[in-house]
Amino acid sequence: MVIKTIAGALLVAGLAFGISNAALADKKMAPKTLMGASAQALSDTCAGCHGTDGASGGPGTPTIGGLSKAYFVELMKGFKSGDIPGTIMGRIAKGYSDEEIEKIASHFSGLKFVPAKQAFDAAKAKKGAKTHEKYCEKCHSDGGTNTEDDTGRLAGQWTHYLQSTMADFISGKRDMTRKMKKRVMKLHKKGGDAAFDELMNYYASQQ
Ligand code: HEC
Ligand code: HEC
């Protein structure tokens, strides 16, 4: 009698589980198009390196949640074509069609940018803020927090990543727009590595 009851209970539980699973599966199927995977499913594959919802937990991998859609697409296409150098993203971006990149970009641009928690030197950050205002603010507005400029996010981005990006820009490995190049090279000539170090401390201070 007891066994029968447990078996009965298990059966009922099993049925309920089966039904709720089917309902869940239906929900997941809903956004799928005939072309294949949903934006969420495509974007889930990025979480291993870029963190949950694109908020990276490690200095070498940038945070990608909350970038503008246009810039996100530009980055992915740049990695795909090889115009933007990278250690790993060239290979990864090649795995996605332009249509899938659009979907992934829509997904991540709809998320919130979570600034990285990183150490900084307050005195250097103060100098960096002035340098930013003079050389970068025009196109990376609101102290580098505004992603609507379609120029990426500097404030609160992992500075290890920003630093290697700047090194690629300055060495010519990655192209800059003519106007950004003018400012960056002027700053490099005038302030050298110290000026960029101060800038990085400023971006790290915006948490
Ligand atoms: C194996 C780890 C790894 C995986 C998986 C990965 N990335 Fe990346 N991603 C990186 C690294 C490292 C960089 C820095 C550039 C480089 O070295 O390739 C980067 C850079 C980026 C950038 C540039 C951000 C910026 O502000 O400049 C974007 C956008 C991006 N990844 C999107 C994605 C998307 C979308 C996926 C999933 C489809 C993905 N990544 C999967 C490691 C990864
Ligand atoms: C005249 C406009 C302009 C100025 C000034 C400018 N930038 Fe940029 N920046 C851009 C644009 C546009 C991009 C997007 C990449 C591209 O199209 O080359 C960019 C991209 C970047 C990126 C890459 C972000 C990412 O997530 O991949 C970094 C880092 C950067 N800029 C740093 C700086 C710094 C530091 C300064 C000041 C010393 C500066 N920029 C001044 C226009 C500018």
What tens-digit pLDDT sequence spans the chain (207 residues)? 444 444 444 444 434 444 444 444 444 443 444 467 888 889 999 999 999 999 999 999 999 999 999 999 999 999 999 999 999 999 999 999 999 999 999 999 999 999 999 999 999 999 999 999 999 999 999 999 999 999 999 999 999 999 999 999 999 999 999 999 999 999 999 999 999 999 999 999 999
From the CB of 85, is ligand 1 less than 6 Å away? no
Q: What is the pLDDT of residue 108?
A: 97
What token pair was written down for 159? 């500075």
Contact 54, 63 (CB under 8 A): yes
The answer to whether 145 touches 155, Cβ cutoff 8 Å, is yes
Report whether residue 50 contacts ligand 1, using a CB cutoff of 6 Å: yes
CA-closest residue to ligand 2 atom 20? 151
pLDDT of residue 67: 97
CB 188 within 8 A of CB 114: no
Q: Provide the pLDDT for residue 1.
A: 40
Structure tokens at 128: 């960096």
| Ligand closest in space to the Cα of 45 | 1
Q: What atom of ligand 2 comes closest to residue 166's alpha carbon?
A: 29
Distance linking the first and last C-alpha atoms of the chain? 62
What distance in angstroms lies between residue 94's CA and the mean position of ligand 1's atoms?
12
**Contact (Cβ atoms closer than 8 angstroms) between residue 153 and residue 145:** yes
The count of other CB atoms within 10 Å of the CB of residue 36 is 12
Q: What is the pLDDT of residue 170?
A: 96
Q: Which amino acid does the sequence have at 29?
A: M
Cβ of 135 less than 6 Å from ligand 1: no
Lookup result for tokens 């291993």? 48
Q: Is 94 exposed, middle or buried (0-12, 13-18, 19+ CB in 10 A)?
A: exposed
Q: Is the CB of 75 under 6 A from ligand 1?
A: yes
Quick one: tokens of 40? 């969420």
* Ligand 2 atom nearest to 137, measured from its CA: 5
